Structure 1
Amino acid sequence: MSHPGPTDDERAAITYLRSPLAVRARCENVLARGLDGGLTHFAVDLDQIAAAAAEVAAVTRERYPTLQVPGHGRMNQLGAGDVDRVADLAAQMAGLPRMERARALVDLVLISVVLDTRAGDAWRYHEAATGQTLTGSEGLAVATLHAFAAGLFSAEKREPWRVDARRLVELDDGDLAAALQVGPDNPLVGLAGRAQLLRRLGSALRGSTWFPGARPGSLIDSLGALSRDGAVAAAELLGALLDGLGDVWPGAIALGGVPLGD
C-alpha cells in the first residue's frame, strides 16, 4: 500500500531534519549527554582533547610535511598510485561542450560514491594500463572510472561518458561483476547489494525533479537555477541530494513516507 504522503507539518519537519542546522543541533545533544555521562556506548572526556590534537598533528606532519593536505574526496581517490586519471578522462572528453563535461564528472562521482562500500580484504582490481593492483575504496573508484569510460552506465552507445536511469534499472549483477573483475578467486563483499543500489538509483533519478532527463549530472542544471552570483549554498546542495536520492538506500528512517537520509 502506498503512503498518502506527508502532511504540511511533516513536510516542515522533514525540511528541518534534512538541514545542517538540525544535524548540528543533534550533535550538540549527543555531546551534552556525553558530558553528563548519560551515553551507553562511549564517554566524552574533554581532558583528552589536547592529547588527541597532538596525535592528529603528529600524524599529519609525518604524512604531509608541507601541510598541503589534499581534501578527502572521490576525485583524489581516482588519482591512486600517482596517476592523473581525471586528466586522462578530460582528454577523452575534450570534444564535448564544457557543460556536458561537467555533467559527466557529476555522473562519475555520484555513481562511484554509490558503489563505494566495504570491498572486503580479498578483492583486488588490476588496472591493465598502469599494471597497478588496487584495493578498497581506491580500487573501487578506479574500477568505476574505467566502467564509466567504457559506457557501462550509458544508455547511448555513442555517448559513453554518462549515466542514465534507463540503463541503471536494467543493469544486472553480471554486468557489474565483469566491470569490477569479480570472480571465484576475487570475491567482492556485497556485489548483489551494489547492483541493487544502482537499480534503485535509476528509479530515484526517474522520480526526482532534481535530475531532468533522469541523469545524475543534470543536477548542475537544477542547481544553476538556484545560484546567486554563480554560487550555490551548501545547504541547498545537501537538500537537493537528500530529496532526490533518499529512496536509493533501503531501510532509511522515514517521516510521512519520506526517507530522511542515509
Structure 2
Amino acid sequence: MTPAPSTAETIAYLKSLPAVRERSKLVYAKAQERQLKHFDVDFAKLGDVAKFVVSLIKRDYGPAEIANIPPHTRLRHFDVGQKDRVGQLIETWKGRVDTMETVRRLTDLIVVSVLLDAGAGDRWTFEVKADNNQKVTRSYSRSEGLALASLTMFKEGRFSSDPRYSFQVDAEGLCSLSLESLREGFQVDDKKNPLLGLEGRWELLRRLGSALKAHPDYFGNSESSLLRPGNMVDVLFKEGSDRPRRQDKYVVRTESLFKIVIDGFAEIWPPSRTNLNGVSLGDVWPCDAIHNPSAAPDSTEHYVPFHKLSQWMTYSIMEPLETHLNIEWEHADLLTGLPEYRNGGLLIDLGFMTLKPKEEERGLVNYKHNALKPGQPAVEVVPTFEPSDPVIIEWRAMTVATLDLIAEEVRKQLGLPNLTLAQVLQGGTWNAGREIASVSRPNTKGPPIAILSDGTLF
C-alpha cells in the first residue's frame, strides 16, 4: 500500500507544473463522461475550433513565417501598432550597461507588467503621445494599454527607489509606491477613465516589494544592495554556466525559473487564496467536478492548480534570456496553455462549451446585481461570476486541457509538428479568442463570461 503523501509533498506537487496539466486532464475526463457540473461540452466542435485557429494563423502569417511565430509572452503587447518599443529602449542602453544588466532590466519590466495585466474593464484606455508631435495621441485598451502604461511608468522610474536610475524595479521603490502615483501612471479618472481593480494592483505591487525582501537568495546581488526581480537572471545564468553546454548554448531547466517565480513571489497572493496548513498555494482552487464525496475532509485530490500568472511570467522571462544570453530552456513543454478569458472564451463562442441553463441564469442574476454598481455600463449582458466560483474553476480547467488538444490538431493541419504551444497561443488561440469576441460582442469586445476582477486574477 502506497503511503499517503506528506503535507510538504502535497504542497510541492500542487505548486508544480506537471500538476496543472494532470489535474486539468482529470476534469476533461469528467467532461468526456458527461459529468461536468456547470458546462455541457460538444466534442464534435473541437475540430471546428482548430480550423478557425488555423485559418487565422494562415491569414496573419505567410507560409514561411508560420514556423517562426514568436512565443506568446508579455513582450508582444509592447509591440502594439507594429512598433518595437522594447528594442528601441535596448538601443538607448547600449554602451551604458552590459548584456547581463540589460536582461535584468527587461526582467524587472516584465515582472511588474505581468502583475499589472489583470482585466482592465471595458471603459479604460491609455493615451500615448506620438513621437515628435505632442498634440497627436493614440489610445490603447486592455492588455496592450496596460502594457504601454507599465512601460511608461518603468521608464519614468515610478518603481525605482533611486531617481538617478529609472530603469529598475526594486523592493524599496515598490514598498514606497503610492496609490496616487499608480493612479496617475494609469491615467485613471474614476468617472471618465475608470480602471478595474486599481487598489488591488497597487497592493499587489507593494506585496511584490515584500516578496523581494523575503527572498534575497533569488533577488539579491553581490554587486548591489538592491533587491530586484531582475537579479534572478544571475541565479539562472549560473545554473547554465555550471552545466554542460549544448551546441554552445547554456542549458537551464524551465522548472528552475518557474520555482523562482512560484516560490519567490508567493507573498504577492491575497490572504483569500487557497492555503494548506498556512502555506499559500496561489492560483489553486477546489473543483467540484472531480471531488469525491467519500474522500477525507482534508483531501486535496480535487484541487486544480493553474498558476496562470506564474506561467505567463515564466513564458515572458524566458524570451529575453534566450535571446540575449544564449540560454536554451530544458523541459519547456511542461508549461501549459493559459487559462484566461481569451483562450477560454474561444471555446464558448465557438460552441465547444455551453453553460448549463441553471448556471447561466445564476450568472445573469450576478450581472444584474453588478450592473447596479456605480460606473458599470449596462451593455452586452453576459453571465458574471467571482474568480472563486465553481463555474470559473471548471471553465479554466477545461481550457488548459483543451488547449493541448487544439495545439495537436493545429500542428497536424499545418504540417508543423515542432510548433510549440507558446507559438500556438500567440499565433492562434489568444488572437482567435479576441477576434471572435469582437464579432460576438462588438460594443465591449469582452468575453462570453465575465469574471469580477480584483486586479489580481485574469
- 2:109 and 2:274 map into 1 onto residues whose CA distance is 27
Report if aligned partners of 1:81, 1:132 keep a CA contact under 8 Å in 2.
no
RMSD: 1.8
Gaps of 5+ in 1: 1-7
- Give the CA deviation at 1:117: 1.0
The question of 1:191 aligning with 2:191 is answered no
Amino acid at match of 1:203: S
| Stretches of 4+ aligned residues off by more than 4 angstroms | none
- 1:189 and 1:22 map into 2 onto residues whose CA distance is 31
The question of 1:231 aligning with 2:248 is answered no
Instruction: Name the counterpart of 1:88.
Output: 88
Q: 1:258 to 1:165 in 2, by over 3 A?
A: same
- 1:145 and 1:45 map into 2 onto residues whose CA distance is 42
Q: Which has the higher contact order (CA 8 A, sep 6+)?
A: 2
Q: Alpha-carbon deviations, 1:75-128, whole Å to 9, x = none?
A: 111011111101221122221121111100000001001011111222111111
The question of 1:47 aligning with 2:41 is answered no
From 184, 192, 207, the equivalent of 1:200 is: 207
- 1:259 and 1:115 map into 2 onto residues whose CA distance is 20
Q: Alpha-carbon deviations, 1:119-144, whole Å to 9, x = none?
A: 12221111113432111110110111
From 210, 219, 237, the equivalent of 1:211 is: 219
Alignment of 1:10-21 (within 5 A): 10-21=7-18
TM-score, structure 1 length as denominator?
Answer: 0.91
How many pairs were matched up?
255
- 2:118 and 2:45 map into 1 onto residues whose CA distance is 31
Gaps of 5+ in 2: 132-136, 221-225, 284-458
- 1:206 and 1:43 map into 2 onto residues whose CA distance is 46
- Give the CA deviation at 1:65: 4.3
168-177 or 126-135, which deviates more: 126-135
- 1:225 and 1:61 map into 2 onto residues whose CA distance is 40
From 141, 153, 161, the equivalent of 2:159 is: 153
- Give the CA deviation at 1:145: 0.6
- 2:16 and 2:121 map into 1 onto residues whose CA distance is 33
- 1:129 and 1:91 map into 2 onto residues whose CA distance is 19
- 2:40 and 2:252 map into 1 onto residues whose CA distance is 38
Q: Alpha-carbon deviations, 1:212-235, whole Å to 9, x = none?
A: 142110111122233333222112
Instruction: Name the counterpart of 1:3.
Output: none
Amino acid at match of 1:135: S
Instruction: Name the counterpart of 1:259.
Output: 280
- 1:87 and 1:202 map into 2 onto residues whose CA distance is 27
67-76 or 237-246, which deviates more: 67-76
Partner of 1:77, secondary structure, is helix
107-116 or 48-57, which deviates more: 48-57
Alignment of 1:1-262 (within 5 A): 9-66=6-63, 68=66, 69-94=69-94, 95-130=96-131, 131-183=137-189, 184-208=191-215, 209-212=217-220, 213-227=226-240, 228=243, 229=245, 230-250=250-270, 251-262=272-283
Q: Which has the higher strand share?
A: 2
- 2:42 and 2:239 map into 1 onto residues whose CA distance is 43
Partner of 1:231, secondary structure, is strand
- 2:251 and 2:274 map into 1 onto residues whose CA distance is 31
- 1:112 and 1:37 map into 2 onto residues whose CA distance is 39
Task: Work out the percentage of aligned pairs sharing the same amino acid.
Answer: 38
Q: 1:258 to 1:225 in 2, by over 3 A?
A: farther
Q: Alpha-carbon deviations, 1:54-83, whole Å to 9, x = none?
A: 222223223334453433221111011111
Partner of 2:81, secondary structure, is helix
190-199 or 12-21, which deviates more: 12-21
Partner of 1:232, secondary structure, is strand
- Give the CA deviation at 1:30: 0.8
TM-score, structure 2 length as denominator?
Answer: 0.53
Partner of 2:139, secondary structure, is strand
- 1:243 and 1:37 map into 2 onto residues whose CA distance is 36
- 2:212 and 2:28 map into 1 onto residues whose CA distance is 36
- 2:31 and 2:122 map into 1 onto residues whose CA distance is 34
- 1:54 and 1:91 map into 2 onto residues whose CA distance is 40
- 2:108 and 2:274 map into 1 onto residues whose CA distance is 26
